[in-house]
Amino acid sequence: MAIEKIFKDDASEEKGERARMASFVGAIAITDLVKTTLGPKGMDKILQSTGRGHGVTVTNDGATILKSLHIDNPAAKVLIDISKVQDDEVGDGTTSVVVLAGELLREAEKLVATKIHPMTIISGYRMAAECARNALLQRVVDNKENAEKFMSDLMKIAMTTLSSKILSQDKVHFAQLAVDAVMRLKGSTNLEAIQIIKKPGGSLRDSFLDEGFILDKKIGLGQPKRIENAKILVANTAMDTDKVKIYGARVRVDSMSKVAEIEGAEKEKMREKVQKIIAHGINCFVNRQLIYNFPEELFADAGILAIEHADFDGIERLALVTGGEIASTFDNPESVKLGHCKLIEEIMIGEDKLIHFSGVEMGQACTIVLRGSSHHVLDEAERSLHDALCVLSQTVNDTRVLLGGGWPEMVMAKEVDELARKTPGKKSHAIEAFSRALVAIPTIIADNAGLDSADLVTQLRAAHHKEGCNAGIDVISGSVGDMAELGISESFKVKQAVLLSATEAAEMILRVDEIITCAPRKREDRM
């Protein structure tokens, strides 16, 4: 008896071997796409959009590359997802996590071909991941008691993070900027207080850190250019209602004097609103919307600095930083929370005038001004710096630090290998495969630098058989070097997130034995 078809005509399903094949191929293709960006000598990718204006992004940040891809393969989407989560959670290691997951699947593919059940592979991977994590935990360094050593740890981590990015040429300068900015946060991981402003012109080296807040606006005509002990009212209200603005409104009058009366009434209404605002006892008024000439004139007469059309990001952050709240009605001055700062003045950066708020209520606020030759360079510099800030703010909370440069992977691989020798049964094949996948990361770092990876990785493995060894790949000299001397450090939190996310993602893709694609919805003919 023939079984009736369950699915619609256009729906497709792939079972067993074919489904697994599709998952592996998709995941490995994504890995091969981003693995050339790994390490200090990783290359960049140009992403060109097909939308209006054909925007171009030049980047080597794994999450940015993967976010921009439109992909049909379900397994590849899982990898894109873990790199996004890694970016949101710890900021760095977005490429490593995809590469590790891809390598785990590449190894799993060989094991499945030798008729080992996916569940056996998964339980082997689980044991190996636990073992690898414990190996790292035994080797972490924690300097939170010693402030000076901890600062140097942070500098090293920042420099290591930046060395694979566009900022690697000036990494000492930018690492110092990032560490200063994060230390101002005093342990909070809220990066909202650090504002990054990008201004084309100058070189990357001209970037600087400024305490306080900078608003990308000019001060209007005839208004005070400098205000001390400012009381700031941050508002989101229409200040352009000295015109009738009711859509489709028609006013019929029988003489010109009536028109003048209407205009007079509108002006009076506006004047009342401005009086209410001035009654708050402020000397700076920042509005999200436009301020027309008439109210601006009234503010100037009252000696109040009025800033119009501040962008929404800017106004929210300004309210946060000065300790005020965004107001939209002005009838009860006592219930409105004003913002405060010591000094407001106009500054010049390059050709542009900006407004600088210093001595703000929220002491940890600061602004990093990035300079660079073009928008593409600035965008990539911002992404790189954001990665460094994320990693540092996480490290301030979780102060455990590891060495970098392929050292953690070799430490983990050595422990996992020993576990494989002790474990009986088919699981030991999976555990061994996990160790091979870990070694793939130093191999790729060496390959990207154009070094002989086979030779280097075997030298590394031999070096790691000595107790307390600090060997890793020194990409600059092209040999095995001492990571502690070279000052290459990474945050434990980042490494742990890479290890656990990659294992879970590989596990999820391995469990798949059938892919069902739904039939597309047909459009009904409306004719």
| Same structural domain, 233 and 357 | yes
- Look up tokens 């080797």; give the residue: 139
| Same structural domain, 379 and 427 | no
| Same structural domain, 126 and 169 | no
Give me the catalytic one of 37, 57, 59, 61.
61
In a domain, 203, yes or no: no
What is the tens place of the pLDDT at every residue in 313-344? 677 777 877 778 888 777 777 777 888 888 88
In a domain, 242, yes or no: yes
| Same structural domain, 182 and 48 | no
| Same structural domain, 217 and 358 | yes
What is the Cα–Cα distance from 116 to 428, expressed in whole angstroms? 11
What is the Cα–Cα distance from 475 to 54, expressed in whole angstroms? 36
| Same structural domain, 252 and 309 | yes
Give me the catalytic one of 31, 57, 95, 161.
95
| Same structural domain, 228 and 355 | yes
What percent of the chain has pLDDT above 90? 19
| Same structural domain, 163 and 58 | no
Could you list the residue range(s) of the whole structural domain that residue 163 is in?
A: 144-194+372-398
Does 61 participate in catalysis according to the annotation? yes
In a domain, 495, yes or no: yes
In a domain, 520, yes or no: no
User: Quick one: pLDDT band at residue 123, thresholds 50, 70, 90?
Assistant: very high
What is the Cα–Cα distance from 295 to 311, expressed in whole angstroms? 20
Does 94 participate in catalysis according to the annotation? yes
pLDDT at residue 309 above 80?
no
User: Quick one: pLDDT band at residue 412, thresholds 50, 70, 90?
Assistant: very high
- Token digits of residue 464: 């790691």
| Same structural domain, 159 and 70 | no
pTM: predicted TM-score of the whole model, two decimal places: 0.85
Total domain count for the chain?
A: 3
Summarize the confidence of residues 500-506 as an average pLDDT.
92
Classify residue 307 by burial, with Cβ atoms within 10 Å: 0-12, 13-18, 19+.
buried
CATH number, domain at 289?
3.50.7.10
User: If we measure between CA atoms, which residue out of 427, 460, 284 comes closest to residue 355?
Assistant: 284
Summarize the confidence of residues 470-498 as an average pLDDT.
88
Burial 52-88 (b: 16+ CB within 10 A, else e): eeeeebebbbbbbbbeeeeeebbbbebbbebbebbbe
What is the tens place of the pLDDT at every residue in 487-499? 888 889 999 999 9
Give me the catalytic one of 387, 417, 447, 474.
387
Q: Are strands 514-517 and 141-142 parallel, antiparallel or unpaired?
A: unpaired
Summarize the confidence of residues 220-236 as an average pLDDT.
80
| Same structural domain, 73 and 182 | no
Give me the catalytic one of 31, 57, 94, 160.
94
| pLDDT value at residue 521 | 76
| Same structural domain, 16 and 108 | yes
| pLDDT value at residue 475 | 86
What is the Cα–Cα distance from 220 to 465, expressed in whole angstroms? 69
